[in-house]
Structure 1
């Protein structure tokens, strides 16, 4: 199906750069079309700074057309028929018509250049991405009903789903990502193919899976994308710890559905993110993954107590270890792994405050242990309240309000964000007459504990306490 597009009906403007490059290729005798996500986004009222085009020109011919026009260009994707460039603030990729397939046992695509736009569209992942805008004529090419499916909020494949997912199993992850990002639902035949072929995701590199998962978690409805992964069986291979949260519920041992609870916590954490000027600008990948994974230690620690109660002792510590192991397997960077694992480890800490109240020392330790993650920990802890008992929810919210007020009050008096001993390492060595070594570290930790327990000291008081501590150390006697 092809017809001239009335651009006045679009809710997103067509950037001038699109028509400019179309006219250049037309003048050189080559076909060029805007394709995929940028065309879809025109109908969704948005325009990305990344533009994708497909062309009848081979890479050499493409280079000849754009060399003088582009602000900069590169040939990193040349082997796949892709030339990249930058123009007027847009990142542009121009790819030769192609056909692409995966060897059933390989992670890497086999690329062959195609001969027509329609054949190129057939090999794309979903109908909503298999639309093109011929340039410069502005003819919309939509052979598989992408506009119709977009309006219906339905995710279908141009060909059979099994063929599409066999070509590139990562497309199953992409389906879950689009559910999260676009609010669409998958067609029944797509869902069936995902379920029957879920194991095929194991041939895809961890890095590619990680990138799709990150895009999913950053979406408007990440809980819906995760739910599709779990229902289809994809999560059994990508996030098995999340799939394992679907604990059996029996009527005798009544307990919360941990899986549904985790999805609720994820939704609530997203709602507590701030705008760009706030302390936790959304979408925040660390907070969202921590919300999703905070209870993954529960299946391993579940215990049925006398009387029918269920306990999950130390699931926070166990969960932090499982988070580290899973995110390492998915090739996340170390800083992200440490941050998410630390939030999971700390997510139960507040409940001691709600039950017994804390000393100023305990509040300082809470802030110090959270470090730069404190604002995220505030939001994770609040999100973790999913009880339907209104009085209990109000009691917990009041307790956390009180804790935050105490943190703010102490912060006015002390530098809570960067609690350090009242004397630094150099001062400790001069005062005690010692050289660098383990003893300095022990003295530093002693002063840090004093700072935590009693707040800031005057230098003279800190020196007195350090000398008293030093007199009790065996090393001080060796210097006599």
Structure 2
């Protein structure tokens, strides 16, 4: 495996190496940057660990740029961050001596020189291209010890070995030297590169201790399995199952951050299935567990709504990276367990589950510390409307029904239609094909009615202010009744969607209420 850096990245790493050398300390790139470069995954940040003061190194590195980037530091944790953008030109590269072949001015040996253990290091050279923004985190090497009831460790200065020992997984414990004597050498004490090749998630040390020390690592293991398509080593997965109760000491914000990352992976079902099988989902998201399983009475059963939901999430993930649309997919049937009922001679029903599910969304978002703003309202709206387009495939589609759907969905109609398409699942491929063909007819009718009536985000041509002025009213129930009557008449197609038709209908409705115009 090769580590191929962009010219911008190599430029920065040379500056870090020189700055560390000036301070008389050693430094390495460690963790996710190394992992992602080895597997060809895009990355926009890097972690630097040094045997010394990470904040001091960050400031020395910043001094080497003109203009000097600001250094954000957290003294309590001994960490610092630099965000770099548009940070060099070709003259800078020439001064550093980086040639088109990616020669490294710090390294006196060639790419193929052996490492200290006799193994050949990966190639560490320039690769063209790359974005002009880069985030660098600096921290001093450390060793940690934990108290059982807290995930806040006691931290002491340490060596590069100590720092790699405390890492969560072997694939995240690999480091690349930035030191003159062995610049570019891979430091891989736990054979993480082999685990990358085997697509395996293992812990550097005893997994029971690893997860007890920091229970969030259990969710990170599952998140990496979902993101990378890797398998969790069986003893590691067993250790997760044995430690599930420890997740309770982790803050909800950090748990939800991992849930979001799982939901944004290419195939979220992998992560949620592992969360369920490990027992973590029972603690962090019990409403999802209520969806699990299929119940049968008199030979009549319903689908397993948990795995149906995961399939819907996977379906929608093929078409969008929108986190909140994925949340809508995850919660679209969350109201089924409380509405489930068996009706003799008919079977299982979930009447009104979309309404109940919509009401559950704010509570779920609050518990998970998700935003209570327009994002939550978007998810709730889609949960409440997700049956409407599908129901239109089972009847003659009237313009009135289409207009009402367009009016209620507004600008979210495309997202709603995407969710509804994803919700069409069955083991019977012909059945799915037939439903999707019928659904295409609904899409066509939506387009036709929208082109004709322009009803999306529509407001009736007569406003409440106009009603009050014409009839000499103050805000009251009669004003609302007249406005609603006009809106319903237009949506039902009883009158045309224009001012004259609405005005005449308003006069008629007001007359029935005993109101006369004053102007």
The TM-score, its normalising length taken from structure 1, stands at 0.90
Matched, 1:75 2:75: no
Distance 1:99 1:56 in 2: 11
Q: Report the 3-state secondary structure (helix = DSSP H, G, I; strand = E; otherwise coil) of the residue aligned with 1:112.
A: strand
Residue of structure 2 in register with 1:276 after alignment: none
Q: Is 2:291–2:337's contact at 8 Å kept on the other side of the alignment?
A: yes
Residue of structure 2 in register with 1:32 after alignment: 27
Deviation at 1:226, TM superposition (A): 0.6
Residue of structure 1 in register with 2:326 after alignment: 288
Residue of structure 2 in register with 1:356 after alignment: 395
Moved over 6 A (4+): 477-480
Residue of structure 1 in register with 2:167 after alignment: 124
Distance 2:250 2:271 in 1: 19
Q: Is 1:12–1:47's contact at 8 Å kept on the other side of the alignment?
A: no
Q: Report the 3-state secondary structure (helix = DSSP H, G, I; strand = E; otherwise coil) of the residue aligned with 2:208.
A: helix
Distance 2:55 2:40 in 1: 34
Deviation at 1:170, TM superposition (A): 1.0
Distance 1:190 1:448 in 2: 60
Distance 2:427 2:5 in 1: 42
Residue of structure 2 in register with 1:113 after alignment: 156
Q: Is 1:80–1:111's contact at 8 Å kept on the other side of the alignment?
A: no
Distance 1:364 1:301 in 2: 29
Whose Rg is larger? 2
Mean CA deviation greater in 144-153 or 308-317: 308-317
1:217-268 residue CA offsets vs partner (Å, 9 max, x unmatched): 1011211011000000110111212222222445833332222211211111
Mean CA deviation greater in 193-202 or 432-441: 432-441
The TM-score, its normalising length taken from structure 2, stands at 0.83
From 368, 371, 389, give the equivalent of 1:333. 371
Distance 1:287 1:423 in 2: 34
Distance 2:47 2:480 in 1: 56
Q: Report the 3-state secondary structure (helix = DSSP H, G, I; strand = E; otherwise coil) of the residue aligned with 1:264.
A: helix
Matched, 1:254 2:301: yes
Deviation at 1:63, TM superposition (A): 4.6
Matched, 1:464 2:507: no
Counting only pairs closer than 5 Å after superposition, residues 444-455 of structure 1 correspond to structure 2 as 444-454=483-493
Residues 1:440 and 1:68: Cα distance change in structure 2 (over 3 Å): farther
Residue of structure 1 in register with 2:415 after alignment: 376
Unmatched runs of 5 consecutive residues or more in structure 1? 1-5, 274-281
Residues 1:438 and 1:207: Cα distance change in structure 2 (over 3 Å): farther
Distance 2:71 2:511 in 1: 67
Unmatched runs of 5 consecutive residues or more in structure 2? 88-132
Residue of structure 1 in register with 2:3 after alignment: 10
1:310-330 residue CA offsets vs partner (Å, 9 max, x unmatched): 222222222222333222101
Residue of structure 2 in register with 1:306 after alignment: 344
Q: Is 2:407–2:456's contact at 8 Å kept on the other side of the alignment?
A: yes
Distance 2:59 2:429 in 1: 68
Q: Report the 3-state secondary structure (helix = DSSP H, G, I; strand = E; otherwise coil) of the residue aligned with 1:48.
A: coil
From 170, 175, 179, give the equivalent of 2:221. 175
Distance 1:438 1:221 in 2: 51
Distance 1:74 1:37 in 2: 21
Distance 2:425 2:5 in 1: 39
Mean CA deviation greater in 411-420 or 250-259: 250-259
Counting only pairs closer than 5 Å after superposition, residues 203-282 of structure 1 correspond to structure 2 as 203-250=249-296, 252-271=299-318, 273=319, 282=320
Deviation at 1:178, TM superposition (A): 0.7
Residues 1:246 and 1:28: Cα distance change in structure 2 (over 3 Å): same
Deviation at 1:80, TM superposition (A): 1.0
Distance 1:344 1:316 in 2: 6
Distance 2:454 2:190 in 1: 61
Mean CA deviation greater in 442-451 or 27-36: 442-451
Residues 1:12 and 1:265: Cα distance change in structure 2 (over 3 Å): farther
Matched, 1:324 2:383: no
Residue of structure 2 in register with 1:393 after alignment: 432
